[in-house]
Amino acid sequence: MVRADDFRVHQPAAGDIPFMVTALHSVVGLIESGMVKALAVTGKTRLSTMPEIRTVAEAGVPGRDSSAWCGALVRRGTPGEIREKLADAIAHALRQPDVLQRLQAEGADPSDLRGADFGRFIATERARWDEVLRGTTITVD
């Protein structure tokens, strides 16, 4: 159960923030400093770097899963050899301890999703958000 006290800001960051949903990397410093209190993460699981923060399902709002993600895309028709070389270089960079540590410190959980698997993930995300937006005046371009 979410209580009113859960929405109080411990120390003002830039005024009162009664409630906000944002990507973790934009507020991780504020959370770690105690300036704001994280109520929950919107993903399916707790973050490995901040396991004390519950998920929204654990907070009493099941069925709500939303995570920020990013990926690298190339123009349609880019030769497979170039796509693989680029994907391998990105995967290599994500395995470097300093890169991995920095991304995890910002709340990211890097993965090596590529090719058709990444395409299916994007299609699933688009369909899911189209469903969420159906019946609103918000459009996806």
* Whether residue 9 is found in the same domain as residue 29: yes
Give CA separation, 84 vs 10, 74, 106, 119, 122, in Å: 48, 11, 27, 15, 19
* 3 and 53 fall within a common domain: yes
Residue 65 and residue 51 in contact, taking contact as beta carbons nearer than 8 Å: no
| Contact (Cβ atoms closer than 8 angstroms) between residue 40 and residue 58 | yes
Give the model confidence (pLDDT) of 81-119 as tens digits: 999 999 999 999 999 999 998 888 887 888 889 989 999
Position with higher pLDDT, 134 vs 76: 76
pTM of the predicted protein model: 0.68
Q: Which domain holds residue 20?
A: 1-68
Give me the chain's average pLDDT, please.
83
Residue 141 included in any domain: no
